[in-house]
Copies of this chain bind each other. A is one copy, B any other.
């Protein structure tokens, strides 16, 4: 199938490659053209100007926020053809996705939101979890393409539902991580090494992805590798806050998390890794988690 890919960031780069490896013809577009050319040279995809994207049967977007997606949709709208499938892998906003879907439907283009989870490693290996929002028929059309990108591909509901699930997932990560940092830094001050505390917690009911993966792998050795920017997680937590708010759910925990991550992004910078929020907790406690 002729497929187009918009956005060759940390995630988009290996995902577009995996589509090509699966046998598809892949047109790639990136705002910085050199990156698209490098992708074409490396993987046999084809670097194209934005307008050429409209020729594809399926268009993927993988951009920082829904606003950039809305921007390229507007730019391409006059050229889009009826029956095209638009699959948005951005970690976007449900409400904005519904607006984008409505706009695309004016030209007969069908929209799916299909954000992913699993990080750069999962993108590289084609083992991402993909949560898809949109109608059933469109999902069935997209499924063979998505199979090249991830191992767990689930339709979770109507347009916007994919983004909502992604935002909730990432807010849970954010909450679980911050809480773990509060507890572990207190234990460290009380003389319990974090590694020892985690040995127990990870065999008990307090465990989470944060205590089982992030803190052992990235905090205890003080490596804090940059894999997912704090600014992007803070954005996801803002979207998570909007999801619960739009549904009229009393959500003190989600909203506190939003404020804390926003404060941390201000203090540590949007470009810090998301796990570095631990440093914020440590700074306020006067002790490191070790």
Bound Cα distance A170, B201 (Å)? 9
Count chain A residues whose beta carbon lies closer than 8 angstroms to a beta carbon of B.
80
B residues within 8 A CB of A205? 117, 169-170, 172-173, 209, 213
> Any chain B CB within 8 A of the CB of A252?
yes
Write the chain B residue with the least CB distance to A201. B169
Given A263-B284, A266-B250, A118 and B255 touching (CB < 8 A)? no
1/0 contact string of A137-158 vs chain B (CB within 8 Å): 0000000000000001010111
Residues of chain B lying within 8 A (CB to CB) of residue A199: 152, 154
Contact of A117 among B117, B200, B245, B247 (CB under 8 A): B200
Distance (whole angstroms) from the CB of A235 to the closest CB of chain B? 12
Say whether chain A's binding surface is mostly helix, strand, loop, or mixed.
helix
Inter-chain contact A248/B172, CB cutoff 8 Å: no
A87 interfacial contact with B, CB 8 Å? no
Q: Which chain B residue shows the least CB distance to A153?
A: B200
Query: Would A197 and B263 count as touching, CB distance under 8 A?
Result: no
A107 within 8 A of B: no
Interchain CB contact under 8 A, B207 and A209? yes
Q: Is the CB of B253 within 8 A of A182?
A: yes
Set B157, B196, B255: member contacting A190, Cβ < 8 A? B157
| A154/B196 in contact, CB under 8 A | yes
**Cβ-based interface call for A48 (8 A):** no
Q: Which residues of B contact A154 (CB under 8 A)?
A: 196, 199-200
Contact A175 B176, beta carbon cutoff 8 Å: yes
Chain B residues whose C-beta falls within 8 Å of the C-beta of A248 in the assembled complex: 189, 262, 285-286
* Other-chain contact of A182, B178, B190, B244, B283 (Cβ < 8 Å): B244
**Given contacts A171-B183, A200-B156, A252-B252, is CB(A192)–CB(B208) below 8 Å?**
no
**A281 proximal to B (CB < 8 A):** yes
List of B residues within 8 angstroms of A197 by Cβ: 156, 165, 168
Interface presence of A104 (CB below 8 A) = no
- Which 3 A-B pairs rank lowest in CB-CB distance, beginning with the nearest? A172-B206, A208-B208, A169-B206
Additional pairs, 10, CB under 8 Å, beyond known A165-B187, A182-B251: A129-B204, A164-B187, A164-B192, A168-B201, A173-B205, A175-B175, A175-B179, A179-B257, A238-B245, A266-B286
